[in-house]
């Protein structure tokens, strides 16, 4: 799933994996916005 989300959000697969495994614990707001866009949801819904 990370590879598909990576394509939709224009982020590397490795970045998504690092966020999921808590290697990156505080992603930038730009990264959060890209993930939300890739998922087709708002940032508010993502961080709940």
What long-range pairs does 33-40 form, CB within 8 A, spacing at least 24?
Answer: 34/9, 34/10, 35/5, 35/9, 35/11, 37/8, 37/9, 38/5, 38/6, 38/8, 38/9, 38/10, 38/11, 39/5, 39/8, 39/9
pLDDT of residue 47: 85
* pLDDT digit string, tens, across residues 8-35: 999 999 999 999 999 999 999 999 999 9
Which residues form the domain of 34? 2-47
pLDDT of residue 40: 96
Beta strand residue intervals within 1-48, DSSP E: none
pLDDT above 80: residue 1? no
The number of distinct structural domains making up the chain is 1
């Amino acid at each position: 799933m990370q590879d598909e989300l990576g394509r939709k959000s224009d982020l590397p697969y490795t970045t998504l994996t690092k966020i999921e495994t808590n290697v990156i614990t505080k992603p930038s707001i730009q990264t959060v916005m890209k993930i939300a866009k890739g998922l087709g949801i708002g940032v508010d819904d993502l961080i709940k």
